[in-house]
Structure 1
Amino acid sequence: MRMELQAIPLEDRFVRLEPLSEALRSEMQAALDCDQPAWDIMVAAAYGPYFDGWWASAMSAMEQGTRIPWAVRRKSDNALVGTTSLYEIKPDYRRCEIGSTFYRPEARGGPVNPACKRLLLGHAFDAGAVRIEIITDATNPGSQAAIRKLGARDEGVLLKHKITFTGRIRDTAQFAILDDDWPEVRARLDARLAAF
């Protein structure tokens, strides 16, 4: 059995995830052009002068089938508030990562992130995934806490794992959710979202 991920819209009552397309380019650029300090700890940036390179890379990876990048649209006001992806897609190994995620500051701390994670995890496990990884900068305790809150397994730190667009050599905190974990993680996410 192979994992068969599709670049399709995903939605719940909080967000609509729309696969990137040329029609979304200018709206996506406007949504990501903010909060430079948040971008500065990421591997790649998409604000200001970095947007064109980020966009080209995302679209190329989507064409190659190694990444599905989505625009995140908040349904309460129809605003495009960020981006998230399934990437490092390995169909034969039934594995992928959730990441390349950025939300505008006003979209953080509410239902947007748990809603996106619920949709992406459900989409990947329904497609046959047995392992979904979530990684973050080892210097980002807030992101690590959010990943732990999902119920992901903490698998440690990969030293000198990536080099960011600023040239910094990054250590990466690695987490995973296995298909065995999904029922509990799903129930936890559903309970969180029911509270909004």
Structure 2
Amino acid sequence: MPFTPDSTMLIRSREYGDGSEYDLSSTSSTIIPDHYVKRLWRRHTLLIGNGGTGRTIQFINKDENSNDRSVAYSTTEEGNLLRILTGGYGEGGTEIARVLWSGSGRSIDKNSTMTMGNKSGAVKDLLKKSNRMSTSRIFVGPDGLEYKWKVISVGNDPAFPETTYKTLYVKDSQHPVATTSRLTRRDGNMNEEAYPIYIAERGIRIQSWIVASLVILEKIQTS
């Protein structure tokens, strides 16, 4: 009897992985959920500027067309100014968001200010916690809807998880809008990427906001 995947799943291009995820006899095989239609690589941080005083991060297209490896988005961080741009570093792309960092530790999102789209204000207000103790963060997208980044822990001990990833939700979608979960073995190649970003069809129209909010959230959590 031929294998028939669940109607919510679809085996996509091998460009999403190294091919092993389509070997149904393999214990490590993974079928990528059908609703994810876009994949970006978050590359490792590179030093920029005179003497390497600044940093940049590139987000690379990894579409089903294997010829597309262009830089979709990049960040620059020099001093206390973080900018998220379309295109690669030094290409003169459009600015999506900027943050002026102030403070450290728990105070960084209280004292820092940001601009994303036509919204400006304190980081704590534009990328706010869902509640006081939560690690989740909420932002209002350009469509006026609230989106929530939820941090997912993997492992049996919640205090010491084996790994974590972030998944983006919006109330009017039955599927996640985006995730940084490693859905294939190919996503584990640490020489090329820090993590992937899978984006659902529902998230394509706000993908620049997805990248920008993720970059800012990552900075807050590592400060």
- Report if TM-score (shorter chain) is over 0.5: no
Structure label with greater radius of gyration: 2
**TM-score w.r.t. structure 2 length?**
0.26
Q: Which has the higher contact order (CA 8 A, sep 6+)?
A: 1
